[in-house]
Structure formats: C-alpha cells, structure tokens
Chain A
Amino acid sequence: MANVLDLRRRIRSVKNTRQITKAMKMVSAAKLRRAQERAVSSRPYSAMLASVLESLKRRIDIYDPETGDAKHPLLRTREEKRVLIVVVSGDKGFAGAFNTNIIKTATQFLDKNGKKQIDIEPIGRKARDLFRRRYPAAKFAEQNQGEHAGSARPERQRGSGTEVIGDHPGLLEKLSFDAVREVGEDIVDRYAHEEIDAVYLVYNEFKSVIAQRVVVEKLLPIVEFGKHEIAEAREMTAEERAQAGEAALTAGISVQPGEAEADIAEFEDEAKKFGTADVDYIYEQPPREIFDAILPRYVTSQLYHAMLESVAAEHAARMTAMDAATNNATEMIDDLTLTMNRVRQAAITKEIIEIVSGAAAL
C-alpha cells in the first residue's frame, strides 16, 4: 500500500485540478450568460424578417404560372446532386461531448448521402481540423486573366466525392453579423449559380441549458418562412439533462426564461405581426424587388442565429463538463483522504503493537 506522503501528494494534485475545473466552469457560466443574451436578443430580428417575407409572399406570385417553378432561385427546389453542409462546431475542446455529437451527426449525414457530391463547410476549429484531415480541400482553377477576366466565376476542379470548402478561422470567437454575412452571401451566391442544389446546416440548437439538441437543418432551398426545416435531430438524454440542470443551478444560471427574456418574447410576438398588418401598404419599391432583396438576408440571419445558439450551447456544454469534473475531483479527494487516514492509522497501530510486544518480551 502507498505510504502517507504519496497519498498526500496526490490529494494536493487533485485539489489543484479541482480548482482549475471550478474556475473554468465559472468562466463558462459567465460566457454562457452573455451568449444566451445575444441569442435571445437576435430573435426579434429573424422573426420580423420571416413575417415580412410571409406577408410579401401573399402579394406577389412567387411561382411561374406556366412552369409552376418558383421565380426566385432561392425558392427553387432542384434534384439534390450536389449538397453543401455547413458544420458549426466549437473552437476548443473540454466541452464534454459537444464537438463529438456534432461531428457524429455530420458524419452520419455524410454516410447516408454517400453517393452525392458533398461539400463540407466547417465553422469552428474542431470541425475544420477533423474534416481537413479526412477529406481533400476543394480546388479551384486559377483565374485566367485572358478573355473572360473578371466575368467568369472560378472554375471548380472536383477530385473526389466529398470535399472541404472554405475556411473561417476565428469566426465564432468574435461573432459579428458582418462576418457571418460574408459567409451567407457566399453560400447564397453559390446556390443561385446552381453550383450546389441544397444546403444543410448541422449545429447544436439551444433553447435553454436543459433544452438543446443537435440538428440537421435545411437552409436552402427555403420551404417555409419562419419555420426550421429539421431533417434530423438528436435530443439530449435524460441523464445529460439532469447533469446540465445541476451544473446550471450551482453556477447560478436559471434554466427558466428570465424576466429580460419574457420581455423579448413579448416583443417577438409583436414581431410576428410585423409587416402583416391587414392594410394596403404603399410599396416604395415594387414588392418583387423588396422580396428579392430580403430573401438572401433571411438566409444570413438564420445562419447567424444558428451560430449564436451554437456558441451558447458550447459554453453550456463546457460548463456542464467542468461541473462534472469538479464533482469527480471532490469525490476522488474524499476517497484518497479516507485511504490516507487508514494508512496512517495502520502505521500507528503497527508501531504500538511493536512497542507493546517489545515491552512484553522483556
């Protein structure tokens, strides 16, 4: 059996670890609170966009009367031959199963659609690193400065069925709408030019600490406004939910929507009525033009919202993981302390026995 000194050293080391995990948990909790706020306050905007689109839709015919196809390229459904999936993961580890779950869901999706040509657009360092290792990067032909300089889009040279496209380092770390807009515009552009036939988004949806799930959401073509088109979802298990709830409780984060959120929710209800008032609007521009201008923005706002939720979910996952780690460390310290005391007592008893039996032998 180990001696008292060794055990004492181990206890000290575990105590240090516990201090670190506890600090990490608190940091994550603080970050989570901020991320949650941001995610919630971005809701009215997307709700308003959706409702104004919905009301515009009724005023213009979005479908071509002859062919029955949608007039706007973003609403047109094509046969899914080339698919883009945007995988939103975290930048850092130490977040329990957060990254693993997202990557697992993405991989399952890839397996199921193995015959199609798939582009993966990873967002977040973890997904990028992994998919970069697994699949080759997309190659584009050099823009030749000859006759069609400037006008032609870079030509794609496809090597294999699945390729990784795009690189967005540090996008999640300092999430700004402007940066996401660039990503969104790029995706919309590719869809409109028929380089891809469908866009899916894999991310961790975040309603509250105890209501999260990993989802595969269809981003394009747009089927219905204001609705999330969920292709697949992986719910939290009861155990995960209990753990997350406990972690949130000890970190002082409410799992119920707070007062500020209630305000926002009220606003959101109002937002749903935005642009749908039962009156005849004067359109400054033709409705068609407004509709066409808003559609790409709607896609971007969805993308932005997904990223905000994913960031919040990442912090929540890290908080839960660090809470579990702290608890484990405490348990281990208790165990080791017990063992140490036992070993010490055994040594004392042994010494007494030696003295007593020594005395008796005299």
Chain B
Amino acid sequence: MADTNKLTVRLVTPDRILVDQTADAVEVPSKSGYLEVLYGHAPLLAELGPGEVRLHGGEGGDQRFNVARGFVEVLPERVTILAESALKPEEIDTAEAQKDLDEGRKLWNEAGDDAEKYDEANAVIREAESQMESAQGHS
C-alpha cells in the first residue's frame, strides 16, 4: 500500500466479517466512553458499550455502524472490533428498538432490590437507546 498511514479496520460479528478495509481514523464506543483511534495508537484492549463505530476516510467514505456487546483490540496499524451485533443505521428496526426500550423500562421498574436485574434492565435500555439514536441520526 502506498499510503502507510492508514489503519486496517475490521468489524467482525458472529455471522460475518462486516468490514475489512482501511481508514484514516475510527471512533469506537468503549464501555467507559468513545475513543478515537488514529494510526500509531498504543496497543489497547477494551470492552464495547452500546454505541456507534464510525469510520473516517475509509474507502467507501465515512461509515457508521451501531454495535453492541463486544470488544475491541487496537494495534498501531490495525483495529479489530468484535461485536455480537452490528447494524448499519438504515438496517435498524426502530419499532423493534422502541419495543426493547419499553421492555427495558418495564424490567427496570420491576427490578425491585435486585442489583443484577437493575444492571440487566439498564443494559437493555442503553442498547435500545443507542439504536434509536443511530437510526435518527441517519434520517
């Protein structure tokens, strides 16, 4: 490759390899907040939170993917994102996300004193909210 200052970005889901290309920069939603990775980033391993992976300066222009449940490995010249679900904004079913959101809120109200159930409900809510946001950002 002529341009050596490009990152190789891969987005892998259990079903397929969704993205395998180069980009200038990639934004990744880690559990504790978004981080942007450029070429030459220090090696890093992080758990993903629900949010958007954004590719900048990739082959097909800027791209966005809504991801949830996974983690990311960063090496100086390569970023690999593993996610259990990864959707393009136009693939998101807003009705489904809304249903999940309601479901999550219901769980939250019913959780009582159980910390485990609270965490679970919060996870469902956050995931649904992030999907809704991605979908709206698209339209």
Contact = CB atoms under 8 A, between A and B. Distances in A.
Contact of A45 (B14, B45, B110, B112): B14
A304 interface: yes
Contacts of B44: 281-284
Chain A interface extent, by class: 35 or more
Contact of A42 (B15, B31, B110): B15
Contacts of A279: 43, 75
B32 interface: yes
Nearest to B33: A284
Most chain B beta-carbon neighbours within 10 Å: one of A45, A290, A304: A45
By size class, the interface of chain B is 20 to 34
Contacts of B111: 150
B85 interface: yes
A304 B14 contact: yes
B113 A275 contact: no
A149 B111 CA distance: 9
A284 B14 contact: no
B85 A293 contact: no
Contact of A301 (B14, B32, B35, B46): B14
Given A285-B32, A304-B14, A178 B75 contact: no
Interface string A310-324: 000000000000000
B125 interface: no
Given A277-B43, A283-B45, A284-B47, A44 B12 contact: yes
Contacts of B13: 45, 177
Interface string B60-91: 00000000010101010000101011000000
Given A41-B15, A44-B17, A275 B45 contact: yes
A52 B84 contact: no
A294 B71 contact: yes
B11 to A, nearest CB: 11
Given A267-B17, A280-B43, A284-B45, A290 B71 contact: yes
B71 A52 contact: yes
B17 A150 contact: no
A293 B43 contact: no
Contacts of B112: 149-151
A150 B30 contact: no
A178 B85 contact: yes
Nearest to B13: A45
Q: What's the dominant secondary structure at chain A's contact region?
A: helix
Interface string B13-26: 11111000000000
B76 to A, nearest CB: 9
A48 interface: yes
B12 to A, nearest CB: 5
A10 B15 CA distance: 48
A289 interface: yes
Nearest to B28: A284
B117 interface: yes
Given A41-B15, A150-B114, A281 B47 contact: no
Interface string A28-45: 000000000010011011
Interface of B: 12-17, 30-32, 35, 42-47, 69, 71, 73, 75, 80, 82, 84-85, 110-114, 117
14 contacts: A42-B14, A150-B110, A150-B111, A150-B117, A151-B113, A177-B13, A181-B84, A282-B42, A282-B44, A284-B35, A285-B46, A290-B45, A290-B71, A293-B47
In the A-B complex, the 10 residue pairs with the closest CB atoms:
A284-B46, A150-B112, A282-B44, A279-B43, A281-B45, A177-B14, A281-B43, A45-B14, A151-B114, A41-B16
